[in-house]
Amino acid sequence: MGRYLLLDIGAGTLDMLCYDTDHDLHYKAVVRSPVRVLADEIRQTGGNLLVTGCEMGGGPVSQALIDRAKTADVLMSKPSAATIHHDMQRVAAHGIRLVDEAEAEGLKDDSRFYHIRTGDIQPDRLQQLVRGFGVPFEFDAVAICAQDHGLAPSGVSHLDFRHQRFAAALAHHPVPQTLLYRSDQVPAEMNRLSAIAKVAKSLPTHRVYVMDSGMAAILGASMDVLAANQKRILVLDIATSHTVGAAMEDGMLCGFFEYHTTDITAARLDQLLKDLADGKLSHRQILDQGGHGAYVRKSLGFDGVELILVTGPRRRLALESKLPITFGAPWGDNMMTGTVGLMEAVRRREEMSPIRYL
């Protein structure tokens, strides 16, 4: 028991939860995501850039760097360049010059370059945010979730690779917290989560955990007070970038699917949820239909579903659903779904007393 910092790093927002288990108090914030903050910094500066750091979520940052390389020199260390793509030749094709870390370090004080550092963890900003709560920036444990497709071997798509990793882990224990890793146990191929874990160890904490954001959202949604006494549930988290749906029975995963949020409609979600509950989805089918993939362990039976709980910053998409959906708010806040999932995963890992997320 003690003080915990939970961070859900998304494409649109960084969702933060501080929980003091000794006093049963929690403090929370929803702020702009690291990738958007850093992209703004890049766009607001002029001239040549030197980029160091590590891999982080791409999107706006990647585009800002690619755009800058059209008009100025952009030098990137190879670890930071993985933010744009794992294939360094593809990064260089944008006119970006790749340098080793030693050379990059030597150029930090060169006045010809504006220096930025990539990374999903921004320690100074986190310290400022936490101290804004009026609490010390010290924790017994820090847990962070983000989406990581992993570094796929040659000839294997990143979506197939992600599916294979999940299926292998869940085959042993089909619960979301299976995808929670202590910082020294993160599989090497999970490059983004490995980078997060490495930087997070510099935070004032005794323990660091990382987790896939989709699994954290599934677990967090299932902790909603409305799901507390339900045996068979469907949960749907519609986030800024990705949407994940899952079928659960007595806390066990029966299956799940993933899509880009921009590629989904309410009608499509209705059909996916029905097919997921009935065990009719397949990974290949979802890929062929433009999704990220699916995992099905067993049929739940749609007719036996007791609750369909929807969370996420873009959950208004589900307003057009024809299904009997319920909008959830784990710990009283729709935006805390991922952080509540992290807290519950850590609670189970550390065998803490149960928490009521009312």
Residues 296 and 247: their CA atoms lie apart, in Å, by 9
CB 56 within 8 A of CB 195: yes
How far the first Cα of the chain sits from its last, in Å, is: 19
Residue spans of alpha helices (H) in 22-59 = 34-43
Longest Cα–Cα distance of the chain, Å, equals 66
Q: What is the pLDDT of residues 250-277, one digit of tens each?
A: 999 999 999 999 989 999 999 999 999 9
pLDDT for 1: 61
Residues 136 and 204: their CA atoms lie apart, in Å, by 10
Summarize the confidence of residues 108-112 as an average pLDDT. 91
Is pTM beyond 0.85 here?
A: yes
Range list of β-strands (E), 170-306: 180-182, 205-212, 232-238, 242-249, 252-260, 293-296
Q: Computed from CA positions of residues 250, 252, 256, 258, in that sequence, does the dihedral angle turn out positive or negative?
A: positive
Residues 157 and 154: their CA atoms lie apart, in Å, by 8
278 φ, ψ to 5°? -85, 5
Q: Does the pLDDT value for residue 344 go beyond 90?
A: yes
CA distances in angstroms from 77 to 225, 293, 312, listed in the order given: 46, 32, 35
Residues 281 and 190: their CA atoms lie apart, in Å, by 26
**Beta-strand relationship, 232-238 and 242-249:** antiparallel
pLDDT for 215: 96
% of the chain exceeding 90 in pLDDT: 87
Q: What is the pLDDT of residues 133-158, one digit of tens each?
A: 999 999 999 999 999 988 888 888 88
Residue 92, both tokens: 């260089």
pLDDT for 107: 93
Helix (H, G, I), strand (E, B) or coil at 27: strand
Helix (H, G, I), strand (E, B) or coil at 232: strand
CB 142 within 8 A of CB 203: yes
Q: What is the pLDDT of residues 282-301, one digit of tens each?
A: 999 999 988 889 999 999 99
CA 344 to chain centre: 16
